[in-house]
Amino acid sequence: MPFVDVPGGYLYYEQHGTGPDVVLLNGGLTDTRMWSSTVAWLADVARVTVWDCRDRGLSSVSSSEYDELGDLAAVLDAAGVSRAILLGVSDGARQALAFAHRYPSRVARVCAVAGSFGEFPSPTPAEAGARVVMRAHFAQQAKILETGDIPTAAANDITAWCPAVDLDAHRFLVGLAIANSRIMLMPEDNARELDPPIKHRFAELAVPVSVLVGEHDFQGTQLWAYRLASEAPDTTLTVLPNADHMPMLSAPDAFRTFLLNALTSTSPAPAPAKT
């Protein structure tokens, strides 16, 4: 099992297949297992790296702030990845975009799926209304967590975010949320992001971005997708009518088409310089 040491901890990662490098970034309450159905086919056409952020999966817990982008760079270095397509879902999309901002030469493309960025800067009326709905869900979650009932909190969260998945996928995601419940109980995530955060800097991105969102996701997530697609310089936007926050599980065929299109439209890594 490959691990890489980082300041104050260690990170777990796996690598599968051969071909152009694709690095997968997990959603906030999941770990590398969320990608099992994706890796099963993607490893036939790409070299796929999956990894766990701190406080999730098999990576170490954190006791203080840490550099989340430095962690990803350490995983890429350990895995021998010089330049890759980054595919991030939910909070993983935010991380992928932030990494592309800091290290553009290491990123061939970002696939930002159901990106989660929190409050909108200077929100439109529609964005402000969507955040009211989100805050109501978070308040409901907080009430459940006050009782210590992790399974109920996990099920409530997955039901809200992923209403389009089938029963097996729902149970799978609830299990992942329970397994990674430490992050639910932390007052705040110790990951340190860009300053100012990437949500203020979409226009500065220097890499192509493929944006994907499902029509069964929260309206706030959908509006963030539209904002990202309108502000970043080089973007495409795909909206899936049957997908929710986890389109690899709620609309797997359409998700596969989206990702394969991103692969075929991305320039390969430059050849090593001759010595």
Please write the tens of the pLDDT for every residue from 241-264. Answer: 999 999 999 999 999 999 999 999
What pTM did the predictor assign? 0.95
pLDDT at 101 over 60: yes
pLDDT at 273 over 50: no
Domain ranges of the chain: 3-264
Please write the tens of the pLDDT for every residue from 49-94. Answer: 999 999 999 999 999 999 999 999 999 999 999 999 999 999 999 9
* pLDDT confidence band for 271 (50 / 70 / 90): very low
Residue 235 is predicted with a pLDDT of 98
Please write the tens of the pLDDT for every residue from 161-205. Answer: 999 999 999 999 999 999 999 999 998 899 999 999 999 999 999
- The CATH number of the structural domain formed by 3-264 is 3.40.50.1820
pLDDT at 1 over 90: no
Q: What angle do CA 192, 198, 199 make, to 5 degrees?
A: 120
Instruction: Tell me what the mean pLDDT of segment 22-48 comes to.
Output: 98
Residue 274 is predicted with a pLDDT of 39
CB-based contacts of 21, cutoff 8 Å, min separation 6? 46, 47, 49, 81, 82, 83, 84, 85, 269
**Average per-residue pLDDT for the chain:** 96
Residue 269 is predicted with a pLDDT of 57
